[in-house]
Chain A
């Protein structure tokens, strides 16, 4: 493993294989919490943190499962690890950053059911990443999510004042906007620096 592999993983996770725009992981919070930039960034940061932690813990849990020959329990074990982690983050935020805690509100427990978090744990196993690669992939994947939700929230704040057909109000126009952003992100697909 060299530094270039790690850089390639990071670049892939943030730009070329962005979790939202290329892999469709984590769409629910992406659409749900993107009405305001502040909350969107808070959510993105929380998801990044949980994804990094989840990658590390899921890697360790997977080692144990492989040793015991219980690979088929992966999904169940991972989701339990993630649920426990989210509970922990929630308690931490409630005590130390109460403003962010109230801003995130109902979406914080929802990180448990964010497919990006379980997805990153499963993809790490699928791609045979080692411990450091897993953690890097988790954190940079989270940063990709943060970038996507930040950009989207910035556009969406303007969308409120835009003129569009009545039946497109709300979700449909948001989805179309996200589609156009996905198109823009596709421009990165040929990107190969290392």
Chain B
């Protein structure tokens, strides 16, 4: 078990949204305010960690042919749990996230990690993987929320931060903004990863 490597993979080199390109629907749909992003991110961290632990525990019992169906039932169970908790204690967030909370069931990140990681690794490693991948997802959400809320509404966490003369670029709050923001973010990520690779190649050359 290699905590440092898993941490780096979850947050950067194997970031679920920016590199693996999973879970795009929710990333674009709910990132209109930081409050929404935080609510969604924390829900996903909890569900991803729990489902990873459970699937890892069950990995020797679940028959290979029906594994996807089993995973979905496990995930749907945890999603329902989180949904009921949110409804009871944070009804505001539940209302603004709406249909996207139950839709975590079909968020490719969770099923993807179950299939690619939890079904092959020990419980401890799977739990860590869930937490780090979840944090990687949440970070992307927060970056998107930050730009969209700041530039699109001139606010952060519902407080006016931009000067009074600023005209909000309302387009960013609309669906269009989601596509453009995520596109730009992935482009930045590709640029950074390319740069890092170039540097590595150069170093290898110099060493020779």
Q: Which residues of A contact B (CB under 8 A)?
A: 21-28, 31, 72-76, 79-80, 83, 109, 112-115, 118-119, 122-123, 126, 165-176, 178-180, 182-183, 186
Contacts and interface: CB of A to CB of B under 8 A. Distances in A.
Contact of A28 (B24, B76, B190): B24
A179 B183 contact: yes
Nearest to B110: A113
B186 A21 contact: no
Contact of B99 (A122, A167, A168): A122
Given A75-B105, A109-B68, A122-B99, A175 B73 contact: no
Interface class of chain A by DSSP? helix
Contacts, number: 122
B119 to A, nearest CB: 16
A117 to B, nearest CB: 8
Q: Which of A23, A28, A31 is packed against the most chain B CB atoms within 10 Å?
A: A28
B21 interface: yes
A76 B76 contact: yes
Contacts of B171: 183
A44 B98 CA distance: 25
A74 B76 CA distance: 10
Contacts of A80: 69, 72-73
A19 to B, nearest CB: 10
Interface residues of B, number: 43
Contacts of A112: 68, 72, 106
Contacts of B182: 175
Interface in B1-35: 21-22, 24-26, 28-29
A172 B186 contact: yes
Interface of B: 21-22, 24-26, 28-29, 68-69, 72-73, 76-77, 79-80, 83-84, 98-99, 102-103, 105-108, 111, 171, 174-180, 182-184, 186-188, 190-191, 194
Contacts of B183: 168, 171-176, 178-179
9 contacts: A28-B22, A83-B72, A109-B68, A113-B106, A118-B106, A119-B103, A175-B186, A178-B183, A179-B183
Given A75-B83, A79-B76, A83-B69, A31 B106 contact: no
A26 B23 CA distance: 10
A115 B103 contact: yes
Nearest to A82: B106
Contacts of B180: 175-176, 179
Given A122-B99, A186-B174, A28 B25 contact: yes
A123 B99 contact: yes
A27 B24 CA distance: 7
Contacts of A76: 73, 76-77, 80
A167 B187 contact: yes
A179 B106 contact: no
Contacts of A122: 99, 102-103
Contacts of A26: 25
Nearest to A189: B174
Given A26-B25, A167-B187, A119 B179 contact: no
A186 B176 CA distance: 9
